[in-house]
């Protein structure tokens, strides 16, 4: 045996086997420990629900507030978790009573502490809670988190800031809203609805200072929030010299007849995105005199432009059935695209 173990290769194989067995046992112990801990936490959570869910449900509907049970050590995070879940499904008076219950047990103070020193998951929970509570004492911490590189943390912090004070939130977040490309436009627009007027005012004031990337994003928010920009502001975005992506984004928001001449000019722009945007915009603000211009776009070299022109013509109140037939017969290209669009409309 001693001779065998004196062989360096056999010795290495022996210790490799020992290490493998130890690692396997270590992984097994870790898995078992994790499962035991999860089951213990699940039992704690279920016991907590048995006590506190009826209490909070009663608090939401009871017009006469009753004294709440005191939270035991270690229950604050579970309370916030249950409270946030219930708060997501209620509005009005029930939400206000839930807020009173949270403050009565000191959950607002716990949430503010978690904003600073909690784990990532705890911070996300705390962000949600202080937003529902409209907790003004949390604004500075939320603003710091809104600048955090973690996209989920930052966008949720922004949402809570707007919940607390829509006007101030829009003002303090404007540079982040326009500069953070990792913030989804649709999601941000969803919570900016509470601050749409403030956002509109800030945008009109600052539009000439914005970089091209910020301006494109601002115009996308304008479209998502269904805002109408003043004609001078819109002309700035539609002006010659603006990058095509800026002009295309501005055309998506254009609905004011005061800029119709600018839109007609852009129907002949060298960039296909702009020509397609102009065709769609003419559908919102154009008149009978624009039918020929749209017919010209039916023969465009780019499919998106032809499609946009055909969709506008098919829905244009100034084009009757006879005119549609004339346009279909004008050329093979226009015939194909119009037939395609009309078939879609008929099937809708």
Pair (157, 185) in one structural domain: no
Average pLDDT value over all residues in the chain: 86
Q: What is the pLDDT of residue 348?
A: 57
Residue 66 lies in a domain: no
Q: Token pair for residue 39? A: 């089951």
Residue 310 lies in a domain: yes
Pair (173, 159) in one structural domain: no
Contact criterion met (CB below 8 Å) for 163 and 194: yes
Residue 99 lies in a domain: yes
Structural domain boundaries, residue 346:
228-348
Out of 203, 220, 237, a domain closes at 220
CA distance 278 to 266: 6
CA distance 97 to 128: 17
Q: What is the pLDDT of residue 6?
A: 62
Pair (138, 179) in one structural domain: no
Nearest CA-CA partner of 160 in 196, 113, 194, 121: 194
Pair (87, 181) in one structural domain: no
Compare 120 and 346 and report the one with higher pLDDT: 120
Pair (158, 175) in one structural domain: no
Residue 194 lies in a domain: yes
Q: Token pair for residue 76? A: 């604050």
Pair (262, 209) in one structural domain: no
Q: What is the pLDDT of residue 113?
A: 94
CA distance 228 to 208: 17
Among the ranges given (10-24, 164-178, 212-226, 307-321), the one the predictor scored with the smallest mean pLDDT: 10-24
Indicate the pLDDT class of residue 334, thresholds 50, 70 and 90. low
Q: Is 267 helix (H, G, I), strand (E, B) or coil?
A: coil
Would you tell me how many other CB atoms lie within 10 Å of the CB of residue 33?
10
Pair (204, 252) in one structural domain: no
Indicate the pTM of the whole model: 0.78
The answer to whether residue 294 scores a pLDDT higher than 80 is: yes
Who contacts 28 (Cβ-Cβ below 8 Å, separation ≥6)?
A: none
Pair (311, 240) in one structural domain: yes
Pair (267, 317) in one structural domain: yes
Q: What is the CA radius of gyration of the chain?
A: 31
Residue 332 lies in a domain: yes
Instruction: Give per-residue pLDDT as tens, 23-69.
Output: 888 888 888 877 877 787 778 778 888 888 888 888 888 766 566 77
Pair (265, 295) in one structural domain: yes
Q: What is the pLDDT of residue 2?
A: 53
Instruction: Give per-residue pLDDT as tens, 194-204.
Output: 888 889 998 88
CA distances from 338 to 283, 285, 310, 322, 346 (A): 15, 21, 5, 13, 12
Name the domain count of the chain.
Answer: 3
CA distances from 24 to 15, 21, 186 (A): 14, 5, 48
The answer to whether residue 260 scores a pLDDT higher than 80 is: yes
CA distances from 105 to 75, 80, 123, 202 (A): 11, 11, 19, 39
Nearest-10 crossing angle of helices 212-224, 244-253: 20
Pair (236, 329) in one structural domain: yes
Nearest CA-CA partner of 234 in 216, 212, 254: 254
Q: Is 299 helix (H, G, I), strand (E, B) or coil?
A: coil
Average pLDDT over residues 172-189: 92
Residue 271 lies in a domain: yes
Residue 22 lies in a domain: no
Pair (234, 322) in one structural domain: yes
Instruction: Give per-residue pLDDT as tens, 68-119.
Output: 777 777 888 899 999 999 998 888 888 898 899 889 888 999 999 999 999 9
Q: Token pair for residue 300? A: 């465009």
CA distance 229 to 204: 7
Q: What is the pLDDT of residue 331?
A: 57
CA distance 94 to 103: 15
Contact criterion met (CB below 8 Å) for 333 and 298: yes
Q: What is the pLDDT of residue 67?
A: 67
> Domain containing 120 — which CATH number?
1.25.10
> Domain containing 309 — which CATH number?
1.25.10.10
Residue 16 lies in a domain: no
Would you tell me how many other CB atoms lie within 10 Å of the CB of residue 185?
16
């Amino acid at each position: 045996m001693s001779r065998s173990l004196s062989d360096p290769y056999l010795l290495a194989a022996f210790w490799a086997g020992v290490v493998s067995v130890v690692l396997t046992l270590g992984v097994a112990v870790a898995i078992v420990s994790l499962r035991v801990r999860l089951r213990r936490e699940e039992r704690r959570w279920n016991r907590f629900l048995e006590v506190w869910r009826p209490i909070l449900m009663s608090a939401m509907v009871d017009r006469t507030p009753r004294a709440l049970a005191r939270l035991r050590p270690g229950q604050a995070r579970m309370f916030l978790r249950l409270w946030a879940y219930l708060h997501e499904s209620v509005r009005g008076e029930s939400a206000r009573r839930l807020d009173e219950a949270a403050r009565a047990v000191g959950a607002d103070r716990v949430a503010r502490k978690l904003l600073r020193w909690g784990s990532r998951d705890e911070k996300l929970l705390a962000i949600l809670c202080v937003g529902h509570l409209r907790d003004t004492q949390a604004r500075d911490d939320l603003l710091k988190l809104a600048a955090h590189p973690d996209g989920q943390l930052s966008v949720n912090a922004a949402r809570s800031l707007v919940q607390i004070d829509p006007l101030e939130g829009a003002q303090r977040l404007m540079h982040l809203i326009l500069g953070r490309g990792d913030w989804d436009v649709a999601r941000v627009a969803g919570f900016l609805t509470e601050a749409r007027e403030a956002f509109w005012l800030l945008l009109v004031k600052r539009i000439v200072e914005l970089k091209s990337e910020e301006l494109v994003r601002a115009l996308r928010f304008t479209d998502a929030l269904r805002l109408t920009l003043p004609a001078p502001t819109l002309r700035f975005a539609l002006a010659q010299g603006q990058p095509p992506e800026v002009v295309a984004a501005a055309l998506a928001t254009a609905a004011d007849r005061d800029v119709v001449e600018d839109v007609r000019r852009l129907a002949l722009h060298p960039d296909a995105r702009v020509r397609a945007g102009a065709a769609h915009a003419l559908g919102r603000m154009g008149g009978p005199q624009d039918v020929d211009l749209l017919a010209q776009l039916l023969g465009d070299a780019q499919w998106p432009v032809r499609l946009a022109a055909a969709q506008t013509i098919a829905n244009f109140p100034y084009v009757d059935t006879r005119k549609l037939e004339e346009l279909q017969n004008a050329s093979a290209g226009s015939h194909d695209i119009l037939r395609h669009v009309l078939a879609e409309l008929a099937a809708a």
